[in-house]
């Protein structure tokens, strides 16, 4: 399709529209870059300002939650729970975010919510704490035949 811009007014309108679109796109890219730069820093206040610019960024809220939960000087698992909940709300299908939320609940002593927050694939592994479940891998040497299956089943219970 060919657009004939014979009049000066039409050319000006097209130029103004193009400049406006470029300015809006530039502002959005700049906002995203600033938010990402702040989120990637290791300073909690800066990370929170970056996440505020992109409140739907689940990865940012998960990073903030981990920093608050595992801060050696001043751990705050309750604030980590709040941040992990934001991450899970923005991406409810991520098992990683669910496990982080479950481990924060476990750190606060709320085992019931920790089990509810753990992803379904991890709930079947009973007998292990939430924080150990993410690192647990079955050991294949339980014996052979039906005795091996019984030993493996006993290990899961």
Write the pLDDT tens digit of every residue in 38-92: 888 888 889 899 998 898 999 999 999 999 998 888 889 999 999 999 999 999 8
Contacts of 153 (CB under 8 A, 6+ apart): none
Rounded to 5 degrees, φ, ψ at 81 are: -60, -45
Whole-number average pLDDT of the chain: 81
| The token pair that represents 110 in the structure block | 């709320």
pLDDT at 139: 47
Looking at domain 8-156, its CATH superfamily turns out to be Tetratricopeptide repeat domain (1.25.40.10)
SS3 137: coil
**CA contacts within 13 A on the Cβ side of 156:** 13
Residue-range domain boundaries for the chain: 8-156
pLDDT at 124: 52
- Round to the nearest angstrom and report the end-to-end CA distance of the chain: 69
Which segments of 40-144 does DSSP mark as H helices, in order? 44-53, 58-69, 77-90, 95-108, 111-117, 120-123, 130-133
pLDDT at 87: 94
Residues 12-32, mean pLDDT to the nearest whole number: 92
Write the pLDDT tens digit of every residue in 133-150: 444 444 445 555 566 666
CA distance 122 to 9: 65
pTM of the model: 0.64
Write the pLDDT tens digit of every residue in 103-134: 999 989 888 888 888 776 665 555 555 555 44
The three-point CA angle 109-121-39 to 5° equals 65
């Amino acid at each position: 399709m060919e657009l004939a811009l014979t009049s000066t007014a039409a050319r000006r309108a097209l130029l103004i529209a193009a400049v406006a679109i470029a300015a809006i796109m530039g502002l959005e890219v700049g906002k995203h870059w600033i938010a990402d730069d702040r989120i990637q820093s290791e300073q909690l206040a800066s990370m929170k300002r970056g996440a505020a610019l992109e409140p739907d960024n689940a990865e940012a809220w998960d990073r903030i939650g981990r920093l608050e939960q595992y801060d050696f000087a001043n751990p705050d698992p309750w604030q980590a729970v709040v941040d992990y909940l934001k991450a899970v709300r923005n991406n409810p299908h991520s098992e990683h975010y669910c496990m982080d939320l479950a481990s924060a609940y476990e750190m606060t002593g709320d085992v019931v919510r920790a089990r509810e927050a753990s992803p379904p694939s991890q709930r079947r592994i009973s007998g292990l704490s939430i924080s150990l479940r993410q690192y647990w891998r079955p050991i294949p040497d339980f014996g052979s035949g039906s005795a091996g299956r019984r030993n493996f089943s006993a290990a899961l219970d």
